[in-house]
Structure 1
Amino acid sequence: MKKALLVGANGLVGSNCLMELLDDPFYEKVEIWVRNSMKLSHPKLIEKIVDFDNLESIQSEEINHVYCCLGTTIKKAGSQEAFIKVDYTYVVELAKFCEKISVEKLLVVSSIGAKEKSSNFYLKTKGRMEEAIKLYNIPGIYIFQPSFLLGKRNETRIGESIGKVLINASGVFMFGKLAKYKGIEAKTVAKSMIHFAKSSSNGIQIIESDQIKNSLK
């Protein structure tokens, strides 16, 4: 039986991932790291209140698979510096932790279009994060690059609500190379992450949005 660690359980993908992990008999225990208690009760769940600015001090028993669903927006974070801390620094520190305790697989949610040399600040930060975590000695590193995430969020984002309508309407015209730009349900991303975690493959893998969907067919 395996033990999973989920970081970012409060977010759109993370909350879906948590429910899927708790329901999956493949995992005996599911540990989550949070700033504040989620006040959830489940026989498989282990909740740890952690200081994300001091991850190196965390002590954990053997963990097989680590799911990283950390992510924010510049608006929510308050500044570009605060955004970098969540979407880059914390993720890289988590990869360092994974190497230290010999985790088998690290699965990370990034973004479609992530590139280290992108002129877009958001995509550049995601791209820098991807390149950084690849340097750690972890047998399996899976980087998921979903398109616009669909699903019910805890907070309302007006711009994203409008974007969701436009993406759903335009999705019917996206075929071939454009298929990966279709909006994707957060639950689909969560299920795909678990699918790849349970697979026998290792190495560094980049899974784009259309591949995420196809992995569940």
Structure 2
Amino acid sequence: MKTSGQGFSLLLAGSTGVVGQEVLRLALADPRVTRVVAPTRRPLPPHPKLENPVVDFGALPADAPWWHVDAVVCTLGTTIKVAGSQAAFAAIDRDLAIRMATLARQAGAARFGLNSSLGASPSGNFYLKTKAEAEAGIRALGYASYTIVRPSLIDAKRGESRLGEEIGLVAMGLFKPLVPKRYRAVKPEAIARALLEGVLAGRPGEDIVESERLQG
């Protein structure tokens, strides 16, 4: 376990998404975190605490030194529409997440935080089943501390259009008093804080943060 005199290093997978951007912002501003590794396809703005390897996610370098971190936060995520097919969606939300978790675990990471989805279940639809498979695949790697955050709809402006989310957010706004907390839209910062605090706390075992715990 880390002591107060030691630096804490974090690997962030998915740093360019709406939740990942918030995790990156919070981690870089947090004095408890001394190093953030954020692999991306294109360079990020520089920061003294940021290590930003530019990689091909289809051919991740298994022996790269930057896998040696204390913890991982994974916010990888797309939609079937954006990915182009169910197989392409699963390759990102499940397979890439598990691959990065595996390489970091092999390099010594002991804590993991995963952004999943409300309703993730092996008996759910394809989306929710894939999310559950990602959870299970990472769980099997034996991280000493594993935080799973399962938000409802994410209340954020995105670079790409997600019509279903946009309709859902409008409906949530109109009927918020009638919507149970579990199903209310969640701000990206709330998700990011839950993920970051989960890996920093490093509580032994698994902690599943359901969406109602993310509400203010």
TM-score by length of 1: 0.90
Amino acid paired to 1:165: V
Q: Which amino acid aligns with 1:207?
A: V
Q: State the Cα distance separating 1:138 from its structure 2 match.
A: 1.1
| Uncovered stretches (5+) of structure 1, i.e. residues with no partner | none
Cα displacement (A) at 1:56: 5.4
Does the 8 Å CA contact 2:181/2:215 hold for their aligned counterparts? Answer: no
Q: Residue in 1 aligned with 2:53? A: 48
3-state DSSP class of the match of 1:207?
strand
Which of residues 199, 202, 213 is equivalent to 2:201?
199
2:39 matches 1:33: yes
Residue in structure 2 matched with residue 2 of structure 1 by the alignment: 8
Q: Provide, for residues 50-88 of structure 1, a one-character-per-residue CA deviation record: whole Å limited to 9, x for no partner.
A: 222233524124301111000000110011111010011
SS at structure 1 position matched to 2:173: helix
Give the paired residue count.
209
Matches within 5 A, 1:66-215: 66-118=72-124, 120-174=125-179, 178-213=180-215
- Per the alignment, residue 21 of structure 2 pairs with 15
**Cα separation, 2, equivalents of 1:196 and 1:30:** 16
- Whole-Å separation in 2 of the counterparts to 1:197 and 1:8: 16
SS of 1:133's equivalent in the other structure is: helix
Q: Please tell me whether the aligned partners of residues 117 and 149 of structure 2 are also in contact (alpha carbons under 8 angstroms).
A: yes
Runs of 4+ in 1 over 4 A off after TM superposition: none
TM-superposed CA distance for 1:202, in Å, is: 1.6
- In structure 1, C-alpha distance between the alignment counterparts of 2:126 and 2:109, rounded to whole Å: 30
Q: CA deviation at 1:121?
A: 0.9
User: Is this contact kept in 1: 2:181–2:212, CA < 8 A?
Assistant: yes
Q: Give the 3-state SS of the residue equivalent to 1:17 in structure 2.
A: helix
Contact map agreement 1:146 1:189 (CA 8 A) in 2:
yes
Measured in 2, the distance between the counterparts of 1:213 and 1:27 equals 25
- How far off its partner does 1:27 sit? 0.7
Q: Give the SS at the match of 2:60.
A: helix
Matched-pair identity in %? 32
Deviation, structure 1 residue 49: 1.2
Q: Is the 8 A contact 1:116 1:131 kept in 2?
A: no
* Residue 205 to residue 180, structure 1, CA distance change in 2 (3 Å): same
Shift of residue 163 of structure 1?
Answer: 1.7
**1:16-41: CA deviations, max 9, x gaps?**
11111111111111110112223x02
Instruction: Point out where structure 2 has 5 or more consecutive residues left out of the alignment.
Output: 1-6
- Structure 1 residue 137: Cα displacement: 1.7
Name the structure with the higher strand share: 1
Q: Distance in 2 between matches of 1:92 and 1:55?
A: 12
Tell which deviates more after alignment, 81-90 or 131-140.
131-140
